[in-house]
Amino acid sequence: MSEYKKGFSGGRLPWVLALLVSMVAAIVLWQWLPSRHVVAGANSPGIPAMVADPVEPILPLPDVPGLPPERVALGALLFQDRRLSANQTLSCASCHDFTRGGADGQRVSTGIGGAQGTINAPSVFNSSLSLAQFWDGRALSLEEQAAGPIHNPLEMGSDWKQVLTRLRQDIDLDKAFRRAYPDGLTANNVAHALATYERTLLTPNSRFDRHLKGEQGVLSAEELEGYRRFRSLGCTSCHQGALVGGNMFQKFGVLRDYFAGRAVSEADQGRYNVTRDEEDRHVFKVPSLRNVALTAPYFHDGSAATLAQAVSVMGRYQLGRELSSDDVALIVAFLKTLTGEWQGVVLQ
């Protein structure tokens, strides 16, 4: 007992306690700060979100999966079909243009009759690998996501009854659905066909993927240094895995308040609109950085016009630091190596 009292009052025990407290605090911060809002894996409640190898945080994109060709073909037709919109002027491809990296190049999308949406359109490329769909993650599958734009009055402004009535008048399409699905042309099957097609929209074989697979000399010294800084600054805390993002939710403004001094819209509330949990206010799905050089403007509000501006904003609000012009230029150089191929051709 005397030894215990001695250590507690003036010996080595306070130093040991301080060390233990510091270690615990570091572990808690490491677990909490970078990924406070990690959620379960895509479409699989209760299964942890996939994280990359700690040695190499980014993974190559997988190959395009083998899926029923007749359903893929139907989905491809429907993706371009303007009969899905109320006034038959818009298709899925209107806001997910393959020549614009699978997005539309606008701050917010334009719906039927010129209606302006409330949020930036994410890319459809590689979306099947994301843990959820939409910025706020309100749809857990591509099938569930398909109904969103069709019913949204600011997008397609239609409904399943109207869509199915039109499509069933197309005799060839109706027959194709009967061949592909036992119950023919239904709302569920339209959504499934679209989702099946979208699962083929992977863009593998970027130069960075080739580098990950061991190809020598595919990246320049500048691009390699950009990736080194991307990692050392902590960007891979959120942007990792095969999508270089897309596998967790995170607050926009971890270390500084991104929304301070500005009018806050409903879209700015992010995942809070889904959960009504105060901790989810201003929380969004971390966007994939695949093909990011092609999908300006950036963020849910389309507020960053250039990739360099987006990198600077990320440094300021997510990392709590002002990145140098050298840091920004090198990281942008690295990000450009994430542009992949679609149907064997490099996206531009």
Q: Which residues are catalytic?
A: 155
3-class secondary structure, 106: coil
Beta bridge partners of 116: 110
Question: Could you tell me the two tokens for 15?
Answer: 């130093």
Kindly list the distances between the CA atom of residue 209 and the CA atoms of 63, 206, 261, 313, in Å, as whole numbers in the listed order: 12, 5, 41, 26
CA 268 to chain centre: 16
Cα 303 from Cα 297, distance rounded (Å): 7
Cα 92 from Cα 96, distance rounded (Å): 6
CA 240 to chain centre: 11
**Amino acid residing at 155:** E
DSSP states of 178-194 as a string?
HHHSTT-S-HHHHHHHH
Cα 129 from Cα 200, distance rounded (Å): 11
- The answer to whether residues 225 and 42 touch, using CB atoms and an 8 Å cutoff, is no
Could you say which DSSP state residue 155 is in?
T
DSSP states of 210-239 as a string?
HHHTT-TTSS-HHHHHHHHHHHHTTGGGTS
Question: Could you tell me the two tokens for 204?
Answer: 């593998």
Which H/E stretch holds residue 6?
A: helix 2-9
Q: What is the dihedral of CA 258, 264, 267, 268, to 10 degrees?
A: 20
Which H/E stretch holds residue 250?
A: strand 249-251
Beta bridge partners of 213: none
Which H/E stretch holds residue 284?
A: strand 283-285
